[in-house]
Amino acid sequence: MSVKHYGIFLAYAPTVDLRNQGLGRYLAAFLKGAADRDDLHFVLVCPSWSGKELQALLASEGVPRDRYEIRSPGQKPIVLRGFEAYQAYQKRPRKKPLRQRLIDWSHQTRVAAMRRIEERLAQAYSFSALLPLLLGLVILALIALILSPIGLIAMMVFLSGRLVRRAIQRIARPLFGLTGRLQRALRHPKEDGLVLRLYQLMDKAESNRMLQLIDELRHVRAWYSPTAFWPAFNEIRAPRLMCVPDVVLAEFPVGFSHVGGDRFLANFASVESAILSGQNFVTYSDSVKWETLVDRYAVPAANVAVIHHAPNDLAPWITVSGFADIHAATRRYCETLFVRALGKSSNPDYARTFFNRSARFLFYASQFRPNKNLIALLSAYEYLLRRRLIGHKLILTGKPHAWPPIEKFLADHHLENEVLCLHGLEIQELAACYKLADLAVNPSLSEGGCPFTFTEALSVDTPVVMARIPVTEEVLTDPELQEMTFFDPYDWKDMAHRIEWALSHRDELLAAQRRTYADLAQRSWTDVVNEHIEVLERIATAGSQPGNLKAA
Amino acid sequence: MNKSRPARVMWLLNHTSARKFEIPMLKSIGINEIFLPKSFPMDPDFRSASIDWSEDQFLTIPKEDLDELNAVDWYTGGTRNAWEIASRHFDACFFIVLYDTAILKLASKHFKGALLLRAYGLSSPVTYSSLLDFKTQGLGLIWAKRAGRRFYFAKAYEHLDQVESSTLQKRSLYLPLGLHDVSVTDQWQGKDKRIFFVCPGVGFNPYYQAIYSRFISDFSGLPYAIAGEQPVQVNDPAVLGYTPLAVHEENMRQMRLMFYHSTEPNHIHYHPFEAIRAGMPLVFMAGGMLDRLGGAGLPGRCETVREARVKIERMLNDDWKLIERIRQTQAVLLDPMKAENCAQAWRDGFQRLFAELATTRTEQAQRPLKRKRIAVIVPAIYRGGSLCGAKLLAQAIYQGSRQFNEAAEVVFLHLDEEAAYPDEALADLFPGVSRRVFKWKKMRRGEARRAMRYAGHATWEPQVGQYLVAEDGMNQLLDCDLWLVISDRLSAPLLPLRPCVHMVYDYLQRYVPLVAHDSEQLFLDVARQAEQVLVTSDFTRNDAMQYAGLPAHKVVKLPMLAPMFSDQSEYCSPAKPGYFVWTTNLAQHKNHANAFKALRWYYEKLGGVLDCLVTGVNTHHFFKDPLPHLAEATAMIKGSALLRKRVHWKGELAANDYQRTLARAAFLWHAGKIDNGTFSVIEAASLGVPALSSDYPAMREIDQQFALNLAWMNADEPKAMAEQLKQMESTHPARRGLLPSKSQLAEHGTDRLAGEYWNAIRECL
């Protein structure tokens, strides 16, 4: 059977851990979906700095190795290598400074010597027995006397060294200012203007190298970019399809204006540039197609295909087999994972000795971003905890200190010990949290497609309540299901009532949602891949001519 | 050994392969009655476990006792009752501590036979001593010592105790592990040119995940198949997962070789021996247990991975000379595993065990029984209901212990503050409960560490900067066997010189910002370090688990103890009472703002006819330097002439005065928002006075326990509260008829409930 090669273009920045990115997991699911087809092979082209992380991501997600190859330009840029070396140096196990080691050594030697003297004294039964000891002390005194001028000189050098150092510091202050700046840049590279400019130049150069590499891959029929962050994708001289998950900064301009500074603004410009210079697109929802691409960016509707997600099935990661009671065994395993996940809490003092493996909680898995509507969720939760007395904890997966409004809310409302933020969860830990939760919640105001929350939770038999937004209404269409599942995300009280109702009608909600999940589960990632391939194939055979791209 | 009956042993493990060797071994040394557990944890780590009922037919113990033992979950420690049954019938008990150390704790306390901690070895650098230490916060070795000469470190390999603490070394008993079948079947053909590598649990066990990753890295490019149970799916076609027996046997016949990775000095798996028995050539790494078992000079041994790879490549490329050399020489590794080579050690071991047990039993029989002493500690200045509750608790323990024929001494401890604890405040302390004063003393890290070392905690290390001890001017309560502290509100953790139990009435701070964040963690740590936490409501129990993070087995819910006013003959209820009583204090959760809004509405809009008498601790200080949370209520009172006229401030009344006042009231009003409930409604019921209460879970529980038929109101809605007050004007006479009778209330008297309290406490002694 002849194998068709398709390319995937990835240009994530250095230090991005793909395992923590939603798009990273999406890519893994996509490639696993291709595993069922023997006639497909994907070439992943990425920057020189992403190859290892990409390999790690795909290995951790269990993507079969024979379905893809990773190609990247040769060496990493020297500046980046230097930065990574600096980071590795910073993370090295620290030895004590030489001065401290000398002090420690002299202390230990002195203590050992004193101990020996004390032993000899205690064991001396006559004055003659003390003679060797006295002789030793005399010799030591003589040595000290001989060395004393050296010692004096050393002390003078040391003291004068301090004066000289101070003088040098005063003279070389501007230079130290520069080194201080350099250190700050190395510690927080994303916030330094020079670093950003360097990165942009490096990125441009790397993109050019990737494009040259891509030019040589003539056997690749068409190229796919899973995101709109990279305008360089549009310079590929081959049929191209760009995925636009969403342009969330445009929908939440005020919220995002406080996040990421001008770096995010630069990213936004890249996204707009990518869209404006692109031609063929795919989105996860009709909502993004029409409201973002067609309305905002005047992309012809015929050039946009809509390909819905397939469910994300988390069950294989946690299901235990081979026991008489697999439900109990699975639960037990999930509780072990849950305890492990608690170790990643942003409140370690509290979580470290939290021993209740069977704690009841609500769960929302998401980064902290302005569109995620977290303040409303926290308001609803506080009301449920303190007025409705539900007793549950709320578990989130973002970093509170990366999003100050959340951190402030938690502190102001004394919720630090009730809302546990577990960041950097492995896929098994995430699955365990979904499994053990009484209810999954998604209050997000805007997403590119129907959130994975629904299928992830239902795949492990946990019901969900979600915000009523266009992308959720697009997929969960049954009116009765919508009534049970949705709340108004702009009304935290409605959210609270829906959550409370769901907790007290859990079985009923789960039964209804299982039916819908069973329908959705008919769609697999292989279907998603097939639909993408259809579009890519159409683009490949038509060249760069626009046409009707809707998947058959 | 008890000469009046046959020797009996409990073997509380479920490991299939170990059982196949050890049960026949026990029988070969004359122990024919063996109890095996009939359940094991549904945990992926128990993939090698199974249940065997076949030994039950040989047990000559009463059927009802056997049924009870069969129903027990031994892995989480069993129950006191089960261990007492076991003590009657069994002489020795094998157990493991990898899953839960509670079994050592309970067995050392309640089992009177020999305790054998079965040790098959652990992955370096973990030792049984460090494992016990870590999992029990240093108490594990103390429990082992508690069993004295009845405790044995039953090592399966002779050298295992070399890395252990002196506590375990001194009690070493060598009972070698072997294989039930060491015959070499040699049906191996080796036609499948793949490495057979056994690595179970890849999908869930980080230890085996690392081994798996290392293997595929070290031998990348070479063909291999990975066997071993995989309870969680693995996305690697080379990982075989579950294979039927026939397939497994075929693999053992055909795979070219087995590679054994382990360089663990103290642990070995079964599968290398399985390979040798099957005749499959075994390539193994040096430095592990196989060296000790005779593998040091074998051709299959490899010093480095490179050497292993070279040998394996030769074998995969048909170097039959090497293959045969390995196969012909490797059988020597089975010799130490033969039953006949292990039997003498088992005979000697059990001979020693029975001799020591006989001596120990004789010695113990001659020892006088020591009466237990329980300290009930009031850690701060408590008055009113809190102090009353503490006294009732002391009474319950005193009476409960006698109901169990385990009469304990009870010492009631309070702070050495004469003004706070005058004699009359404790005049009603139950007869027989003694009284002692103390002060809190702080100990710094160094002092704390020394004290714990002197007390026998050899590995305990301070985790915080300071600890508390109760300084009674004598021996800091060390004459007591258990410390029961009322509440968790300590300024530092207690130095854990004795088992410590806390009675926690509520976790109000979860709902009302009562304490600073730092103090919050401190109180949580106090509860988390306790042996047990007692609560008196399901609501608080839920908070203990959900908020304090306590595991369910550590939180014990006991029925609320309430004072009963026994003789009210002198208190006659007037035909038309002119007031109701509002019992409160100045705490934030008492809902003063809403209460006064309700009262104002009641008087100004609803024409309320009953006055309100306010009583309770510190209520006479309501207007004196008002606390911030009282500002709104204070302003309301000052701004309403009607409120000032109709609300009367009685302060904290003496007991008799309070009873008289309450008995003549129309009803009792409880307006607090959220707490563990108040037994003022019970006191009222005992005087024939109904109550109108805020509706929250703890009050519902009290209502249910005491069948009070309380009237309810929503404490968040002042108007609704006022309307309920108005309604009570007309309904209170009828509500008297709904109150429980004296005899019904008496069923919840402290003496009736004492047994439950003692039953909980004794588990911690």
Give DSSP secondary structure letters for B35-68: E--S-----GGGTTB----GGGGG--S-HHHHHH
Contact at 8 Å (CB) between B312 and B260? no
Residue B606: phi and psi, rounded to 5, are -105, 0
Top mean-pLDDT range of A74-88, A319-333, B575-589: A319-333
The one-letter code for the residue type at A427 is I
> Would you state the pLDDT for residue A203?
82
Q: Are strands A393-396 and B172-174 parallel, antiparallel or unpaired?
A: unpaired
Using CB atoms, which residue from A320, A389, A393 is nearest to B231? A320
For A326, name the nearest residue in chain B, comparing CA atoms only: B42
Q: Which residue has the higher pLDDT, A139 or B86?
A: B86
Task: Report pTM.
Answer: 0.88
> Would you state the pLDDT for residue A158?
66
Helices then strands (H, E): number in chain B?
Answer: 27, 25
Residue B53: phi and psi, rounded to 5, are -95, -5
B727 has a chain A CB within 8 A of its CB: no
CB-based contacts of A184: which residues, under 8 Å, 6+ apart?
A192
Residue A547 pLDDT class (50, 70, 90 cuts): very low
B320 has a chain A CB within 8 A of its CB: no
Using CB atoms, which residue from B42, B233, B542 is nearest to A316? B233
H or E, element range at A235 = none
- Chain A positions touching B552 (Cβ under 8 A) are 356, 358
Cβ pair A333:B232 closer than 8 A: yes
Helix (H, G, I), strand (E, B) or coil at A526: helix
Structure tokens at B248: 């497994």
Cβ pair B697:A389 closer than 8 A: yes
> How many CA within 13 A on the CB side of residue B415?
13
Q: Tell me the per-residue pLDDT of A478-525, one tens digit each, with 9 for 90 and over.
A: 999 999 999 999 999 999 999 999 999 999 999 999 999 999 999 998
Cβ pair A358:B41 closer than 8 A: no
Cβ pair A389:B551 closer than 8 A: no
Using CB atoms, which residue from B47, B237, B511 is nearest to A322? B47
Contact at 8 Å (CB) between A395 and A433? yes
- Chain A positions touching B524 (Cβ under 8 A) are 350, 353, 417
- E strands in B558-710: 579-583, 611-615, 647-651, 668-670, 691-694
Using CB atoms, which residue from A325, A349, A358 is nearest to B552? A358
- Chain B positions touching A358 (Cβ under 8 A) are 545, 551-552
Cβ pair B520:A386 closer than 8 A: no
> Would you state the pLDDT for residue B391?
96
Cα B287 from Cα A248, distance rounded (Å): 58
Q: How far is A113 from chain B (nearest CA, A)?
A: 26
Structure tokens at A212: 């040259």
For B230, name the nearest residue in chain A, comparing CA atoms only: A321
Q: How far is B351 from chain A (nearest CA, A)?
A: 38
Mean pLDDT taken over chain A = 87
Spans of chain B, pLDDT less than 70: 1-3, 565-575, 625
Q: Is the dihedral of CA A326, A327, A328, A333 positive or negative?
A: positive
> Would you state the pLDDT for residue A186?
63
Using CB atoms, which residue from B232, B237, B521 is nearest to A350? B521
Identify the residue whose tokens are 């000079």. Answer: B297
- Of A202-206, A260-264, B644-648, B715-719, the one with minimum mean pLDDT is A260-264
Count of residues in chain B: 765
Cα B149 from Cα B453, distance rounded (Å): 22
Cα B539 from Cα B23, distance rounded (Å): 48
Return the residue in A318, A339, A355, A427 with the most chain B beta carbons within 10 A, the one to mutate for interface testing.
Answer: A355
B365 has a chain A CB within 8 A of its CB: no
Contact at 8 Å (CB) between B88 and B60? no
> Would you state the pLDDT for residue A544?
46
pLDDT cut 90: percent of chain A above it: 53
The closest of A391, A228, A123 to B674, measured between CA atoms, is A391
Chains A and B: how many Cβ contacts under 8 Å?
Answer: 105
The one-letter code for the residue type at A290 is W
Q: How far is B133 from chain A (nearest CA, A)?
A: 16
Cα B560 from Cα B557, distance rounded (Å): 9
The closest of B99, B117, B115, B108 to B139, measured between CA atoms, is B108
> How many CA within 13 A on the CB side of residue B301?
19
Among the residues of A299-365, which ranges form H helices? 315-318, 326-342, 348-351
Task: Name A281's bridge partners.
Answer: A242, A304
- Chain B positions touching A317 (Cβ under 8 A) are 203, 232-233
H or E, element range at B91 = none
State how far the alpha carbon of A434 is from the alpha carbons of A341, A429, A455, A471, A544, in Å: 12, 9, 11, 22, 44
Position A298 pLDDT exceeds 60: yes
Using CB atoms, which residue from B42, B203, B551 is nearest to A323? B42
Cβ pair B545:A319 closer than 8 A: no
Q: How far is B749 from chain A (nearest CA, A)?
A: 30
Residue by residue, DSSP assigns B165-210 as -HHHHHTEEE-----S-----------EEEEEEE---TTT-HHHHH
Helix (H, G, I), strand (E, B) or coil at B152: strand
Cβ pair B242:A322 closer than 8 A: yes
Task: Name B33's bridge partners.
Answer: B8
Using CB atoms, which residue from A320, A325, A356 is nearest to B550? A356
- Chain A positions touching B673 (Cβ under 8 A) are none
Residue by residue, DSSP assigns A476-509 as ---HHHHHHHEE-TT-HHHHHHHHHHHHHTHHHH
Helix (H, G, I), strand (E, B) or coil at B103: helix
Contact at 8 Å (CB) between A401 and A346? yes
Q: Tell me the per-residue pLDDT of A94-113, one tens digit each, with 9 for 90 and over.
A: 777 787 888 888 888 888 88
B216 has a chain A CB within 8 A of its CB: no
Cα A33 from Cα A106, distance rounded (Å): 65
- Chain A positions touching B551 (Cβ under 8 A) are 355-358
Q: Which residues of A touch B (CB under 8 A)?
A: 62-64, 316-326, 328-329, 331-333, 336, 349-350, 353-360, 385-387, 389, 391-393, 411, 414, 416-418, 428
Q: Tell me the per-residue pLDDT of A161-196, one tens digit each, with 9 for 90 and over.
A: 677 767 766 776 666 566 666 666 666 666 666 666
> Would you state the pLDDT for residue A545?
44
Longest dimension (CA), chain A: 110
The closest of B31, B94, B82 to B59, measured between CA atoms, is B31
Return the residue in B235, B464, B515, B533 with the most chain A beta carbons within 10 A, the one to mutate for interface testing.
Answer: B235
> Would you state the pLDDT for residue B517?
79
B553 has a chain A CB within 8 A of its CB: no
Return the residue in B16, B40, B207, B232 with the most chain A beta carbons within 10 A, the one to mutate for interface testing.
Answer: B232
Cβ pair A389:B229 closer than 8 A: no
> Would you state the pLDDT for residue B186?
83
Cβ pair B517:A319 closer than 8 A: no
Cα B720 from Cα B444, distance rounded (Å): 54
Cβ pair B242:A319 closer than 8 A: no
Using CB atoms, which residue from B42, B509, B545 is nearest to A329? B42
Q: Tell me the per-residue pLDDT of A443-486, one tens digit each, with 9 for 90 and over.
A: 999 999 999 999 999 999 999 999 999 999 999 999 999 999 99
CB-based contacts of A115: which residues, under 8 Å, 6+ apart?
none
Q: A165: buried, middle or exposed (CB in 10 Å: 19+, 13-18, 0-12)?
A: exposed
Contact at 8 Å (CB) between B702 and B679? yes
Contact at 8 Å (CB) between A438 and A362? yes
Cβ pair A323:B510 closer than 8 A: no
Cβ pair A333:B545 closer than 8 A: no
- Chain B positions touching A357 (Cβ under 8 A) are 551
B521 has a chain A CB within 8 A of its CB: yes
Cβ pair A349:B521 closer than 8 A: yes
Cβ pair B674:A358 closer than 8 A: no
Cβ pair A359:B546 closer than 8 A: yes
Other Cβ atoms closer than 10 A to A435: 25
Q: What is the dihedral of CA A288, A292, A295, A301, to 10 degrees?
A: -50
Using CB atoms, which residue from A326, A349, A355 is nearest to B550? A355
Contact at 8 Å (CB) between B583 and B388? no
B16 has a chain A CB within 8 A of its CB: no
The closest of B474, B467, B435, B434 to B451, measured between CA atoms, is B467
